[in-house]
Structure formats: structure tokens, C-alpha cells
Amino acid sequence: MGKVLIIGAGGVGTVVVHKVAQNPDVFTEIMLASRTKSKCDVIAADVKNRYNVAIQTAQVDADNVPELVTLLNAYKPELVINVALPYQDLTIMDACLEVGVNYMDTANYEPKDEAHFEYSWQWAYKEKFEKAGLTAILGCGFDPGVTSIYTAYAAKHYFDEIHYLDIVDCNAGDHGKAFATNFNPEINIREVSQHGKYWENGAWVETEPHEIHKPLNYPEIGPKESYVIYHEELESLVKNFPTIKRARFWMTFGQEYLTHLRVIQNIGMARIDEVEYNGVKIVPIQFLKAVLPNPGDLGENYTGWTSIGCRIKGIKDGVEKTYYVYNNCSHEAAYKETGTQGVSYTTGVPAMIGAMMFMKGLWRKPGVYNVEEFNPDPFMEQLNIHGLPWIELHNVDLEL
Ligand code: NDP
């Protein structure tokens, strides 16, 4: 059906390549390109072994538009799946526009020199993509991604108006390390150490980092202390579902993780500005990334589950109702299938499904769109088929 270029050979990229290779009827040709080609070759060899599917590989610096343009012109994919880092979103979008290629990612743009992410930069490309007749699909991982699609599905099938949305993200897994992040450490630490923020009555309410917290019960897992943090899908969801009165994002953190995080911040290792060390300029958080465990390698001894879902309250036919939809994903099962842990898996599977939606023509319209702006039904169907089945609970106590 189509030719796809995946950019980024990290934990998420590994899962995307596996899942794309498992669907050769949809993805007829596959290329994986990244900054370090040897990493692409290792993934391609593993996939060839497992599914007997050939993956082409290439080296590319995705910060460099001319390099990207050369690669896109040479390979001529229909769609680029960007699973490099959020820093590369705009350069890859620019190259896609220049060559005439459709675009998809899993995280919104973030400038390197400012720990700040918002959609405005990418939404500003809407007209350019419309004029070029190209589709750009933003935020197609789990959160953002599946959580946004869960919300769209709830709005379509179960509610006339959604009033309260709480996205709950629990990682109850154990990787056996004193401290490690589950996806790119630089991006992860920037995200979780910033001020909290949630939407209430038409405005953003800012909190101190991790100020609001309470134990929430996760299915098959039990109670876990959960913290309100800002997460990017809140921005697009309150815009696309304007009946929402309050939208929050909760994430679980263990005490050990928070203690390490506090120390890292207090000693300056989370700094994103350059410091001089022995005559060399280094960015502390980038140095820290180099010494922390690689998230892509955590899988082997990872046990336990992730549990991510949406807890929604609103009205249907004038009656108040609640709805909880979630997926529990086993780190061990993810590792067995793809050699990566559950957080990479829960991001890579939706990225493949989003690409499948595009290739099948189900999610294809010129412009720049967040995933909740497309029909959620065929996507939800595929989640059940490709490893992330969902469970619905109606009119239960949401604890929130
Ligand atoms: P990793 O750090 O494991 O992988 C990133 C990959 O991108 C690496 O292979 C890296 O290359 C490559 N890369 C970085 N910079 C460039 C560049 N300039 N040019 C080419 N390649 C580059 O990250 P993850 O796999 O954990 O995360 C990937 C993306 O997924 C991130 O954007 C993250 O924010 C997003 N994500 C989204 C989630 C969601 O649910 N929506 C959840 C988790 C992650 P090298 O190997 O040389 O370093």
C-alpha cells in the first residue's frame, strides 16, 4: 500500500519498525534513518531475522533541512514517521513540505534552549500543509495519542458534553535500576521537572512542580501516588472539545524517582544551558543522558505493567455519567515481542496504527491535525488487534 520513512532509531523507533514490518500488506517498503546509522542496522537485522522483512537504513541529521531533503528526494516515501526528538519536528516538517511528503509525529515541538513545549509552532504550519495538499498528524503515541483518541471516542459515542477529563498515566513497572527514565532522559526530565498546569473554567491554572497529588487506584495494580503535571495533549483537547470545564493529567512517580530528580535539579545536572568543562562546552542534561541507562535497553529485566487511561465525567441525554477507558501493558510482553520496554511499546504501536490510518486513506486530509480530529473508530479497532487492547468501565467512581 505505501512506502514509509521512520526517523529516529531509539526505543520508540525500534517498536515502530517492528510493528510496521508486521504489517507488510500496508507498509510495502520501509526505511529507518537516524543520526547513528549503526543503530538502524542493528534494528533492521533483528527485524529481518524475526519477520523476514527487509528494511533499508540511512544516516541523517534531522536538524539539517537540506540533508533531510536529499534523503526524501532519494527515497520518495509517502509518509515520514518522526520518532526522533521533539527538537526535530519543525525541520522535518519543513523538509516534508519542500519535497511533498506527508508527516506524523508523537511529541510536539520543543526548542532546545528552552524547556517549553506547545503546539503553536506546529499549528502555524496548517496553511502550508493545506496548500501543498499534504497531511500532518500530530501526537500519535500513547499520551498524546491514544489518550486523545480515547477522548474523541468518548465524545462521539457516550457523551453529549464532556465536562471533566482526567488522563491518568501509571507506570507500575520495575526495571531494577536506582534511577532511569522510560524515554529519552533529556526530554523526560525537562517534562516532569517543570511547573504543573491544568485547565479549569477557561483558563490555565499553574502549580508548583508536583504540588497536587493523591493516590489513585489503577486496575490490576492498586493504589499509586499520582501527581498533576502539565502534558501536551491538554492543550489540543481543550481546544477541540470546548465543553471541557476541567482537564488534568496525572502521572505516578515513586519516592525514589522523585528524590533522584530533586538531587539532579539541585546539583545543576538538569541545566539546559552550556557550561564550560575543561575547555569544552557541555550541556549538563545532555551529559547526564550519556551516563544514565539507555531507555531502549531497560526491557530485559523490566517487570510489571503500565496503565494509562482517561477518566471522564459529562452528560448524555441530560443525565450525568462517568466513563473510564484504559489499557494495561506488560513490560515483559513488550520485551518479548520487540526487545523494548512497555513505554516504548505503548508509544510505537499507536504510531504504527496512525501511519496505517494514513496509508488506508482513513486519516488523510490536507492540513495539520491533532489525532483527536480524525475518526477514532478505525484506530480503536486496530489497538485491539496490535497489542494495546482497551477496557471500558461505565458509571464507576472515578476518584476525582
Ligand atoms: P531515544 O532517545 O531513545 O531515541 C531518539 C532517536 O532519535 C535516537 O536514535 C537519536 O539518535 C535520534 N535522533 C536524535 N536527534 C537526531 C537528529 N538530529 N537526527 C537524526 N536522529 C536523531 O528516544 P525515544 O525513542 O524514547 O523517544 C522518541 C520520541 O518519542 C521522542 O520525541 C519522545 O518525546 C516521544 N515519546 C512520545 C510518547 C507519547 O506517548 N506520545 C511517549 C514516549 C516518547 P542517536 O541514537 O544517535 O542518539
* CA-188 nearest atom, ligand 1: 34
Q: Is the CB of 142 under 6 A from ligand 1?
A: yes
Atom 30, ligand 1: residue with shortest CA distance:
83
Which pLDDT value is given to residue 201? 97
Say what angle helices 11-21 and 331-338 make with each other, to 10 degrees.
60
Q: Is the CB of 85 under 6 A from ligand 1?
A: yes
| 319, β-bridge pairs | 316
d(CA 289, CA 39): 17
Q: Is the CB of 226 under 6 A from ligand 1?
A: no
Buried b (16+ CB within 10 A) or exposed e, 165-177: bbbbbbbbbebee
Distances in Å between the Cα of 336 and the Cα atoms of 23, 40, 220, 305, 320 are 18, 20, 21, 14, 42
d(CA 323, CA 346): 21
Q: Is the CB of 63 under 6 A from ligand 1?
A: yes
Atom 13, ligand 1: residue with shortest CA distance:
84
Angle at 7 (CA atoms; ends 3, 9), nearest 5 degrees: 120
Which pLDDT value is given to residue 113? 86
Distances in Å between the Cα of 91 and the Cα atoms of 30, 64, 96, 104 are 21, 7, 9, 13
Q: Is the CB of 143 under 6 A from ligand 1?
A: yes
CATH topology of domain 146-340+389-394: Dihydrodipicolinate Reductase; domain 2 (3.30.360)
Q: Is the CB of 106 under 6 A from ligand 1?
A: yes
Q: Is the CB of 60 under 6 A from ligand 1?
A: yes
Task: Tell me 174's DSSP state.
Answer: B
For residue range 45-60, what is the model confidence (pLDDT) as tens digits? 999 999 999 999 999 9
- Ligand 1 centroid to residue 293 C-alpha, Å: 15
Q: Is the CB of 354 under 6 A from ligand 1?
A: no
Measured on CA atoms in the order 112, 117, 121, 122, is the torsion positive or negative?
Answer: positive
Q: Is the CB of 296 under 6 A from ligand 1?
A: yes
- Class in CATH terms, 2-138: alpha beta
| 168, β-bridge pairs | 250, 309
CATH code 3.30.360.10 region(s) in the chain: 146-340+389-394
CATH code 3.40.50.720 region(s) in the chain: 2-138
* pTM for this entry: 0.97
By most ligand atoms within 8 Å of CB, the mutation choice from 39, 71, 85 for ligand 1 is 85
- Other C-beta atoms closer than 10 Å to the C-beta of 124 total 12
Which pLDDT value is given to residue 115? 80
By most ligand atoms within 8 Å of CB, the mutation choice from 40, 169, 184, 187 for ligand 1 is 184
- Ordered mean pLDDT values, 10 residues apiece, the chain (400 residues): 95 97 98 98 97 97 98 98 97 98 97 89 98 98 98 98 98 94 89 93 96 97 97 98 98 93 93 95 95 90 97 98 98 96 96 98 98 98 98 97
- Which candidate, 343, 322, 328, places its Cα nearest to that of 389? 328
Q: Is the CB of 91 under 6 A from ligand 1?
A: no
Which pLDDT value is given to residue 117? 87
Which pLDDT value is given to residue 120? 96
Q: What percent of the chain has pLDDT over 70?
A: 100
Atom 8, ligand 1: residue with shortest CA distance:
10
- Ligand 1 centroid to residue 304 C-alpha, Å: 24
For residue range 244-274, what is the model confidence (pLDDT) as tens digits? 999 999 999 999 999 999 999 999 999 999 9
Q: Is the CB of 187 under 6 A from ligand 1?
A: yes
Which pLDDT value is given to residue 360? 98
Contact yes or no for 363/340 (Cβ under 8 A): no
